[in-house]
Each structure stands twice: as structure tokens, then as C-alpha cells.
Structure 1
């Protein structure tokens, strides 16, 4: 990396004041999104993520060695936990054959939801491997989580779980390496403006063939993609080389009282696909690092509760790129079970 890049490569670092205290140094720029979320502008080589003990000798990768196929659409978009557990419900799809994999990309509609302080609702793509009770995983997508973000808005987010059970959301703990100076791993989605069309995010988690790092990228419909940053392969002991499963899902975490929040757009899927939360353009990076359309795979449907949530196959469009893969979601409530 030349000296000019070193001098100019500044990035935003995500911190949450409720989790970690922050000292504001004189003349350091920072941006406050709300009472909990502050971004500091620091030298890329001094970001807190690099303080992780497994990353002491890590050399920052400024961009991935791959590119993502960029479909062209006529629509306008304001684009900017996968482990089954207690009080969590899911509606989505995942692979069940032809592993190993090296990542995936998918388009997901984005919605605002009424979620209480002790509930979570999100939609995400993920990569994962597990052995016995040990799991490594990465996920990214959109989330409504008032206890994490401090408000009821819809945020983009990332989450990782790696070696020795370490991991966290966004950059609360060391791990994720932020590279983009414009697109953040976690930020609120803007409210839709008149005539902008539906809100959506088209994102990916792809392993770099050369370095083994797991990159997340904001796939653009117009112009070049934005490579946000990556989770270094050193963080993981099960997915340093590949993963056994990839998927995309809507999910919720119920409150301690047992009341489950809405999922997707809060409505059960209907015949009108555009009126339902939906996912399309799921593409999978196969064992040879080749991007494959998801219709070449036998995808397993995952719906753990059909009282409160639904999952429906999408209708076939004129092409794969124009077809909706599935619709999902529902209102939640107090009879969803645990």
C-alpha cells in the first residue's frame, strides 16, 4: 500500500456507548447517529477491530479479488440469527446439498416494524458451519432491535460468531474490518421518499479466494458495487476455508413475556407478492468459487411456526432475475410458542 493511500484511508468505526465507553479526543471527527451510536473517524490501521488477539499480524485487504454479477433492473430502490434457539422463530430457505460453499448474495425487501425494547425482528443472509455444539457463522441484512440501536428504526447490521465462541454485532467487539469510507456496516435505512419505489437491500457475504477473508458488499443497481469490509479468516476455526450451509431468512426473537414481534412487513404472505415481504436473486458461490443461481440447488424451507408466520414459494417470472424466490412474514403475537 503506498503512502498516499495510508494517509487518506480513513474509516468510520461503529461504537455503542451502552457496551463500551468512548473517549473523545481533541480534533478527532465523529458523527452521532443517536444516543447509542457514534462513528469515529480514525486511521484505518488503528481501528479497534485490529486489536483482536488473532489479528495482531493481520495485513488489511483494501478490496476483494472478486466482482459480483450486477443485474440491471427497471425498478427504483432506496438501497443504501440463524442458530435455532429459545424464543426464536424463522421463515426462510437454506442449502442442504452440494457443499462446501464460499458465500451468497440476495435481494431483500426492507420494512419498518413496531418492535418493543425486548424484541428483535430481522431478515438476513448467512453462512454457517457447525460441529456438535460448536458453530461458526456470519450474517448481514436488516434489523429492528431497539435495545441494540436505541431506537425503533430499521438498521443494516452484521453479526459474527467464531473461534472459542467469540463474536458480536457490528464492531462492538474487535473483528470486522471496515474498508469503505462511504457505506457503513450498520446504519439506519432512510425512510422511503415519494416515487422511490420499494425499499430493498442487495447484499452479499463472499469469501475471497486468495485471502480467505469473508467480505460483505453493497451490490448496486447503477454504478460500481461498494465493498464495505470483511471478517478476517483468522477469526474462525470452522469456516476459514469454506462453509457447509448458506441461507436467507426472516427471523424474530420474542420478548421475555413470550410475545413474538412481527416478521417481514408484519403481514402473512398473500397472492400479491409485492404486498408481502420478499426475497429474490439468491445466488450462491459454489465450491469452485463460481456464482450459481439458486434454482440449481435443492433448497430446504424453514418455517418453525405457521400460526404466526408464513412462507410461500414465489411465482416464476420471465427469468431468474425477475422472479421472487419466496414471500414470508407475519404479525407475531402471544400464541406463537417458544
Structure 2
């Protein structure tokens, strides 16, 4: 395969057999007809596929290794890459909507997919959901899923995709880290993906679903401390890294690279945002709040309507006349 490898594992084969017998209990209120998507991954468009009992693994490229500060840290998240309420001094900038103050057992959203310009290989631009528990420090637990420069990815505290142990993938058709196609175009066709993260009431494991009912795999509950029970905060939105080279703000784009006020077809969006409550029901957001680190560089506007439920527009170009 050009982009992926198929790896065989007796454990994965056993899990696939088990899932056919006893799948996780999906949240009530999940309407698969709302999640139909035409997005595919580029590696599979040629007809390539993985046989039963294997999962696709994206090939590691030279540039992936060069991004790591050391070989030991390959696949690990930047130690500064932690969601916190004061991000002004660590290079990570956010434009997010969030809810807090309750017990959450998952989140769901439809996420608009773009191809933002990233200034250099050591910066990034992503759009994702964060499922968070614990204090912003050593006790922080997070589960994350979304797209990064138009590739599908997942994460948890400390790790990306399958590059370190933790996430158990059970799907042979989805390659984490592989490119998504098609993507949205400015003032043109819009494409999005649907992601659902939730805690299975039967096992306590946190599951990930893509699109209309496609299970990708799960994070075992034993990986976590605070998240073993529930989440205390859910975030939706964008994040970039600004290295601040040459004394100016980066021109790395967030979302579509356009500000929220340009709205549909121009700005990037999250729509139909929901959380999972203690009864395993998907419900609307209650009293959502906004966090924008540098509104002259990237901004966000949120709203609610019958078709899109809770939604937000977000993003921006980075360096501009108001963001030097």
C-alpha cells in the first residue's frame, strides 16, 4: 500500500469476533441518518483494503520522525500541548466552544473538513473535540478526536493515533492519520465528518465512532485516572501552534483560514454538537461558553438553530494587519 500497512494481530481478531457478538451500547438519541457522509480516506480510493483480522497502519515517513525532538518522544504529544484556560504563553492558540460544570459521558459533533496552510513542519493546525477530566496539570486526562491538516487523527493525554500503546483499534477500513477526501473549498462545496466519543455503560471503555455507525475502536478505561468515571468538560474547536519565529505571529491557518463572521462556505464550522449524559442520552449543550486566545488572529461565533442544533464558526488566517 502507498500510505498504509495491514498488521495482523490475534488480539485484534479476537476483538473483532467479540464485537460481532456484543457491541457497545450506543447513546440514545443517535440518529445515523443525520451522519451520512461522502468522505473517504485517500489510501482506500484505489480499492486497497485490509483482510479480516488486521488493521490499517499509516506508514511512518521521514518528516514524521523529524518533527519529534528525540526518538524517545516520537509519537508523543508536545508536553506544552495541554488544553488549559490560559494558553497565551505556550505557543498553542485556541478558538473553542466548551461546556463545564456537569458530568459528561461523551460528545458528538459534525466537523467541517478543510486543508489549512501550515507555515512550517514544526507547527500544526487541528480541529477536534476534547473530552476532559481533572485539573490542568499532572492530573489532566483527555481524549481527543478530529482532523489535523485534513487527516483523521485521535489522541489521549500524551499520545497521538497508534504510535504508543492505549487505543484498541477494531476497524480494518479506517487508517488513523490517513488523509480524508474530499475537503471543503472556499465559497464552494462543503464536506464534513461525524465523530462520536462515549463511555460504554457496560464496560466503562471509551469508544470512538466515525460517520454513520462505523466503530473505530476504544480507549480502555484502565488507561485513565479521572476519566475512568466521567468527564468534567467538553471542548469543540480549533488549535494551532505559533512558534513566533522572526518576532511575528505565524501565518498558519486555523480551520478554513477565514474568520468566523464569513460564515457558511467560507468559515469552518462545527454543527449538531451534543454531549452524552449519565443516562447514556445525547443531549444539546447547556450554557456553552467561548474561549479565544487571540481574537485578532483567530476567532469564533456560536449559535443554535433547528437544523444544526448547537453550532459554531471559527478560524482565521493567523498573521494579518490586526495580528502582526
TM-score class, shorter-chain normalisation, is 0.7 to 0.9
1:136 corresponding residue in structure 2: 141
Residues 77 and 310 (structure 1), Cα distance of their counterparts in 2 relative to 1, 3 Å cut: farther
1:251 to 231, 239, 243: 239
Would the aligned equivalents of 2:267 and 2:313 in 1 still touch at CA under 8 Å? yes
Work out whether residues 40 and 182 of structure 2, in 8 Å CA contact, stay in contact via their aligned partners in 1: no
Give the match for residue 91 of structure 2.
87
Q: Deviations over 1:199-239 (max 9, x none)?
A: 2111011111111111110132xxxx100001111100110
Superposed, 1:140-155 pairs within 5 Å as 140-144=145-149, 154-155=150-151
What are structure 2's unaligned runs of at least 5 residues? 42-80
1:322 alignment partner in structure 2 = 308
Q: For this pair of structures, how many residues does the alignment match?
A: 269
- 1:8-60 deviation per Cα after TM superposition (whole angstroms, max 9, x unaligned): xxxxxxxxxxxxxxxxxxxxxxx341xxxx4332125169xxxxxxxxxx999
Matches within 5 A, 1:302-317: 302-314=291-303, 316-317=304-305
CA distance change for structure 1 residues 331 and 211 in 2, over 3 Å: closer, same or farther? same
1:163-182 pair list within 5 angstroms? 167-182=158-173
Match of 1:70 among 1, 25, 31: 31
Distance 1:44 1:190, change over 3 A: farther
Name the structure 2 match of 1:201.
193
- Unpaired runs of at least 5, structure 1: 1-30, 48-57, 145-153, 162-166
Is this contact kept in 2: 1:178–1:230, CA < 8 A?
A: yes
Aligned partner of 1:156 in structure 2 is 152
Kindly indicate whether the alpha-carbon contact (under 8 Å) linking 2:107 and 2:197 is maintained by their aligned counterparts in 1: yes
- Aligned to 2:181, the other structure's residue is in SS state coil
User: How far did 1:283 drift?
Assistant: 1.1
State the partner residue of 2:129. 125
Equivalent residue in structure 2 for 1:274, among 265, 275, 299: 265
TM-score (norm 2): 0.74
Look up the SS of the partner of 1:239 in the other structure.
Answer: helix
Shift of 1:301: 0.6
Secondary structure at the counterpart of residue 165 of structure 2: coil
Q: TM-score, normalised by structure 1?
A: 0.71
